[in-house]
Structure 1
């Protein structure tokens, strides 16, 4: 859940807000009625930073586009169960057998 709080309220409720962010909430703290900072879970921050690096890498973006094109064209392997080497090899073998 996302919610807004004035900086004065956030100061009074800080420990509670930390617990709420650990449960997945995003707290936007306002100063003079305008959003100033966001309180989020550390892992969520790390994910955002990772995505920002990925999106800023033209080569990685091209590989993702190619992957999406491969999926649309049916050049992807569907894996049953968890993603393990064993399941990946099994799916690849089944695909080769289906092709003949």
Structure 2
């Protein structure tokens, strides 16, 4: 993780976006953290990030886990394949 001031980001955003593909960049304002710049090397990484931060998707995962804990679900061993 790297810290960069907001004024530096403004001066060369393109460079920092490229750099953010490999590590997060903490943007500071007056020396204090104000945000994080996260880059994506591929569209798949962007899709995964969106999914991991989508509250609807996270709720569905939690519901599925609760159903499994309650004994509702299908085991992989029980699924027939042709």
Q: TM-score range by the shorter chain?
A: 0.5 to 0.7
Tell me how many residue pairs correspond in the alignment.
Answer: 70
Q: Which has the larger radius of gyration?
A: 1
CA root-mean-square deviation: 2.9
**Given the superposition, is the C-alpha separation of residues 46 and 38 from structure 1 closer, same or farther in structure 2, using an over 3 Å criterion?**
farther
Match of 2:81 among 53, 66, 89: 89
Structure richer in helix, relative to its length: 1
With a CA cutoff of 8 Å and minimum separation of 6, indicate the structure with the bigger relative contact order. Answer: 2
> TM-score scaled by structure 2?
0.56
- In the other structure, the counterpart of 1:41 is 39
Shift of 1:45: 5.5
Equivalent position of 1:15 in the other structure: 14
Q: CA deviation at 1:21?
A: 1.9
Q: Which residue of 1 aligns with 2:25?
A: 27
If the length of structure 1 is used for normalisation, what is the TM-score? 0.49
